[in-house]
Chains A and B, each alone.
Chain A
Amino acid sequence: MNVSLRDPNIVMKLSRLGSFHQSKLSFLRSFLKEFKDWDYKRDLFELNENGHGTAVYSFKKENRVYSLICFANELNENERSDRVIATKWDAAFTLFDGVPTKQDIERLRNEVPKQEVGRLSYKELTLSRANKSVRVFNHVVERLSEGKQPDNDLLSRVGYLYRTTAVYGSGKFGLADRFRIKDREEIYGPFRLEMMLVYFVRQFTFDQVNHVAKSKNSKKAVKLDVNICKSLGIGNSTGLGMAPFIVNHPTLLNNWISAREISLKKIREIKIISEKDKKLFLECLKKSIKNVTSWNTESEYQKNKIKFLLSDLNKFIFYLDNDFNFEQDYAFNELYLHLEKEYCEECIEYVVSMMMEPYDDITSPLIKEMSSEEDKYFNIPTERTVEELKTILEKKYPDILTIDFSKNENNLNFWFISKNKEEPRLANRFDEVGADLEQPLAIARDIKKLYELLSVTKNSLTIARFLSTNNELRHVVRRAFIVEKFPYSEIQDNTIGKKIVPIDMLRLKLSFFGALKFDPRSDKWLRICMFQGAPLPEQLKNYDEHWVYN
C-alpha cells in the first residue's frame, strides 16, 4: 500500500505546528543516542563555598573532545532576570572545541559572562547563560545540608534547578561558523552542540547544588539522590527570537517536518504490526499520560489545550483497549485515519509522535537528513517563466492566495528587530511606530502581492526579465522556487494577522528540540523543560531510549 504524505496545506498551518510534541526525531533524544558511547568526564571543578567559580566538563571519543566551560558568578537578587534585556546571570557557559588551555579559560572568563557583548572565537561552538530557580535551588541546598532529600512535590512542580535564557551557536558573536564543523559525523543532526551544552549544564546544576550544600554543612550534608537528579531537567525561557528562525530557514524547516511526515507515511504503510511493536507503542502511550497530568501552567490558553488533549487521549486509549484490532492489516494507517476523524490536533500530533517509538529503523536514517545545505537552493532559476511561477503559487499557497490583505485584521502586525537587544519583536502596525522597518517575515502578504503582480504580467516573460523591474518581491520569488522543491518549507498561514499566536511558532521549534511541558507566559514567550527524565552522563552507556515516558 502506498500512503500519501500529508498535505502541507494542513500540516503547515500554525495551529497544527503549534500542536507538535517531542518524538524520537527530537534533537535532544538523537543527541543522547549519538553521544552515548563517548567518554564523559568532569575535568575541573573549582567553586567556592557559595558555588561561584569555574568548572569544565567534556565528552571525548578518539581524538575528538568537546568541553563545556562554566563560569558561575555572584548575582544580586535585583539583577536576576530571564528577559533578553538582562546583562548578568547566575552562570554563563560556552562549549569549547577541544581541550581548553589555562589561557583559553582566562580569555573566556572575561568574555563568556558578558554574553552578547562579549567576543568569542572560532574555537568556541555554542554560548549560553542560565539563572537559578532561586526558590528550588535554595530549598535543595537547605535540605541536603541537613542530610535530607528535598520536597518532591516542589521539585516536580518546577522540574529544574536552573533555566537557560538563550543558547547561541552558528557564528553568533564570533563563535565558530557551521562550515568549520559541518562535516563531523557526530553532529549531522541539527542543534546537536546546543543540546550538548544544555545537557552538560544540567549536570553542572546538580554538582553545584551538592557542592554548596556540602560547604554549608560538611558533616551532615548528603548528595542529591540520583533518581531525583534524573527527574530534573533544565528550564528554558524562550521569547520571540525563535519565531523568525523557522521562516528564515525554509529548507531546514522542510527537512524537519519532512522527516516527521516520511516517518508517519512509512509507519502507516506497515502491513502487519508485530506484537512487540504494538506493545511498545501502547506502553509508551499509556506511560506518557503522566507527562500530561504533571504539566503545570498558569496559561488559560495552554490549560485548555491540555484539558482537550487529556480528554482525547483517555478516549483514544479506551478505544484502543476496547474497540481497535491491531491484528488487521495496516493497523497504524487505520488508527491514523480514525484519529483525523475524531480527535483534536494536539491529540493527533501527540499520537503521531508515539507511533514512531517502536520504529528505530524508520526514524534513525531520517535523523541524518534533518540538516540542510541552505546555500545550494539560494539562487533563483531566472530562466523559468512568469507562467511557471504563477502555477507554483497556485499549487503551493492555495489558502494564502485567498487572504484579503486590504483588511486591517489581516495586516495588523509587523515583525521588527529591537534596537537595544537586536531581538525580533511583533507589534501592531496601526498603533506603534516602526512599520517602515518591517522585517521580511510577512511571507503570506508578499506572496499574495507577487501573485497579483504576476497575474498582470505576460506569461512568457522570463523571471530574469520580471525581476529586472520587480526586485521588491525578490525575496518571495526565491521562496516560491524553494517551496516547489521542498513542500514543507513554508508556514501556510498569515504571520501578521490579528489571530496569530506567535508561541505556535516557538512550540514547533521547541518540539523538535525535544522540549516537554510548554508553559506559555503570554502569547509571546513561554517556559519549557529539557532533558527531564533523561539519563545522567554516567548512565549514558546503557540507557533506556524511551526514558521520556518512564
Chain B
Amino acid sequence: MRSLSEIETVSKRSSRAAGYSWGIAEEVAKNIRLLEIFSLPGIKNLNSFFKKKKELRLENISLINQNNEATKNEYCPIIAGVNCLDQIRTLENLNEITFKKISYPLLFLPFISRASEIIGKRIFLKIDDREFLLNYNNNIYSNYTKNEIVESGESIYFKILENRDSFEEREWNELYKLSEETFVEENESLKQSGAGAGLTDND
C-alpha cells in the first residue's frame, strides 16, 4: 500500500511535470492526498487526466462568476479549482455557482472541500448526478462510491449552505428537557451554601 506521504510527493512532482507551477503542484498534492483519505479515486483520475491533458485543449478560467461556461472546450479542473479556492470569500456572497463542462471534475472537488473549511460552512456540490456534501473538509457525505475515472462533468453546481440547525426547535427542547434530569433541584440549605451565597454584589 502506498503511504499518503508517497501519494503527496508523486502527485506534486507529476503535476509540475504536467506543466503546473510549483505552487499549484503543492495544492494538487494536498488534494490527491485528501481524495485518497476520503476513499475517492484521486490517483486514478489524476493519472488519467495528465495522460490526456494535452489533447483536451482545456480552457483556463481566472475569475470565477456565478455562472461559468467554457466557450469551446472543457475547463481545467485544477485551474478552475484553485481559483475557486482563492476566491471563495467573494463567491460566498454569490452563494450558488455553476459551471458548464469541467474536465475530470473529481479533481475539482477537493478544492471546494478545502474552501468549505476556510469559510466555515458546509458546501453542497453536484457533478451531474453525483452529490457530495462537503463538511468543513473534515469528511464528505455522498451518494457516489464508485472507484472510477470520471473524464467529464457536464453540469457542476455548488451551493454554500448557511450554518443552520438540522433539527427543529421542538426537538431541541424535548432533548434539553430530558438532559435536565441529570440536574439536582436545590433546596434552601443548598442555596445557602452555594458559591457567592451571603455576599452582596452591590459592593
Contact = CB atoms under 8 A, between A and B. Distances in A.
Given A177-B5, A378-B30, A478 B63 contact: no
A380 B24 CA distance: 12
Main secondary structure of the interface of A (DSSP, over half): helix
Contacts of B85: 379, 382
B87 A468 contact: yes
Interface in A449-483: 463-465, 467-469, 471-478
Interface string A179-204: 10000000000000000000000000
Interface stretch (A168-176, A337-345, A537-545): A168-176
Contacts of A179: 4
A464 B87 contact: yes
Contacts of A467: 82, 86
Given A378-B30, A379-B118, A475 B23 contact: yes
A475 B22 contact: yes
A531 to B, nearest CB: 27
B89 A174 contact: no
B123 to A, nearest CB: 15
A464 B64 CA distance: 11
Interface string A410-444: 00000001000000000000000000000010000
A29 to B, nearest CB: 27
Interface residues of A, number: 34
Contacts of B90: 464
Interface in B109-139: 114, 117-118
B23 A478 contact: yes
A315 B182 CA distance: 72
A474 B23 contact: yes
Contacts of B24: 471, 474
Interface in B1-60: 1-6, 13, 21-24, 26-27, 30
Contact of B3 (A174, A476, A477): A174
A280 to B, nearest CB: 41
Nearest to B27: A474
A383 interface: yes
B21 A171 contact: no
A364 B109 CA distance: 43
Contacts of A463: 86
Most interface-central of A173, A417, A471, A478 (chain B CB within 10 A): A471
A171 B89 contact: no
B5 A172 contact: yes
26 contacts: A121-B1, A172-B3, A172-B6, A173-B6, A174-B1, A177-B5, A375-B30, A378-B26, A379-B117, A379-B118, A440-B22, A464-B86, A464-B87, A464-B89, A464-B90, A468-B86, A471-B23, A471-B24, A471-B82, A472-B21, A473-B21, A473-B23, A474-B26, A475-B21, A475-B22, A476-B23
Interface of A: 121-122, 170-179, 375, 378-380, 382-383, 417, 440, 463-465, 467-469, 471-478
